[in-house]
Amino acid sequence: MCGCSSKTQATAERTTRENAVEFHVGDMTCGHCEKAIRSALAERLPGAAVDVDLSRHVVRVDGDAAVVKEAITAAGYTPEMHA
Ligand SMILES: [Cu+2]
């Protein structure tokens, strides 16, 4: 058993950040939406870690919830705070 296969599985590894906020964005449906949201977030939170799960319509950002919500809304999408 070598390390190759275990390394492949580790690509799904998630970084858990204490101040990460998670939003459900129901109208984020394709790669274009993801791009628009990512660039809106990069504009307001330069350098912040952004995690997008397109299949679950979830956006995770290492930043302030109010700023994230404003950025997603300004991009034309509807963020809902995750419990
Ligand atoms: Cu789209």
In a domain, 8, yes or no: no
Cα of 10 vs centre of ligand 1, distance in Å, is 28
Boundaries of domain holding 39: 19-81
In a domain, 13, yes or no: no
In a domain, 50, yes or no: yes
Q: Is pLDDT above 50 for 2?
A: yes
pLDDT band at 18; cut points 50, 70, 90: low
pLDDT band at 9; cut points 50, 70, 90: very low
Q: How many domains does the chain have?
A: 1
Domain holding 41: CATH number? 3.30.70.100
Residue 60, both tokens: 């995770």
73: which residues sit within 8 A by CB, 6+ positions away?
79
- Give residue-wise pLDDT tens across range 25-83: 999 999 999 999 999 999 999 999 999 999 999 999 999 999 999 999 999 999 998 76
Cα of 29 vs centre of ligand 1, distance in Å, is 5
Among 4-8, 9-13, 21-25, the range scoring the smallest mean pLDDT is 9-13
25: which residues sit within 8 A by CB, 6+ positions away?
33, 37, 57, 58, 59, 72, 77, 78, 79, 80
Cα of 22 vs centre of ligand 1, distance in Å, is 19
In a domain, 14, yes or no: no
